[in-house]
Amino acid sequence: FEQIGILHKRFKQLSHNEDKLRRDDFNTIPDLACNPIRNQIIEAFFDKRNFHQNGEGTVQEIGFEEFLVVMSHFRPPALNMTEEQRENIRREKLRFLFNMHDTDNDGTITLEEYRHVVEELLSRSGALGKETAKGIADAAMLEVASISMGHMEPDEFYEGITFEHFLKILKDIEIETRMNIRFLNLDTTTLCK
């Protein structure tokens, strides 16, 4: 339980001892400024879809429980999990990622959104810029489409990456083992309900 205590302390620290955390509070973290995707990370904290409550849209400020819930996405899986539990955890984490990409909340990642993602990723490089980012995003999109949809008629339009497709293309990178912060070994579901 000390980990919750640590997180709580951190929460207080970030929010300057208030009960709610706002976006600007995140700006006080110096290291975060160098991160190319900081905006998306911050947004993820305020995105209702990550609160396990089937909400949508964003909020302006979050309390400690929501903070914890978002953090709980980064829990490492326990050793003795069944395959099904692993699958669930994987879905959950991928859902988190998906929500980060899908900024307009329509359930798919369109080409524009994907381009935006890649641009952000490469935004620190500066040199090669938008053209390459677009190319990369297009290629990636093509790949997803081809893997997911197989053969498509030329008139068909691939709307965007749905969550299922997202799962399929990323199932090889074993996200449940990689998307973890080491010390978050706690089970927060007991706290929030």
Window 121 to 180, contacts with another protein (CB under 8 A): 121-122, 124-128, 131-132, 134-136, 138-147, 149-158, 169-170, 172-173, 175, 177-180
Closest CB to another protein among 65 and 142?
A: 142
Is 162 within 8 Å of 107 (Cβ atoms)?
A: yes
Please give the residues from 36 up to 65 whose contact with another protein meets the rule CB under 8 A.
Answer: 36-38, 41, 45
Closest CB to another protein among 58 and 74?
A: 74
Encoded tokens for 118: 């890649």
What type of residue sits at position 167? L
Helix (H) or strand (E) holding 88: helix 83-101
Among 18, 19, 32, 106, binds another protein (CB under 8 A): 32
Question: CA-to-CA distance for 20 and 11, rounded, in angstroms?
Answer: 9
4 is a site residue for another protein (CB under 8 A): no
Closest CB to another protein among 54 and 175?
A: 175
193 is a site residue for another protein (CB under 8 A): no
- The sign of the torsion formed by the CA atoms of 17, 23, 24, 29 equals positive
Closest CB to another protein among 48 and 101?
A: 101
Question: Which is nearest to 87 in space by CA: 175, 3, 151, 6?
Answer: 175
Closest CB to another protein among 33 and 55?
A: 33
Is 59 within 8 Å of 48 (Cβ atoms)?
A: yes
Q: How far is the CB of 25 from another protein (least distance, A)?
A: 10
Please give the residues from 80 up to 99 whose contact with another protein meets the rule CB under 8 A.
Answer: 97
Question: CA-to-CA distance for 134 and 128, rounded, in angstroms?
Answer: 11
34 is a site residue for another protein (CB under 8 A): yes
Question: Which is nearest to 188 in space by CA: 50, 68, 99, 108?
Answer: 68
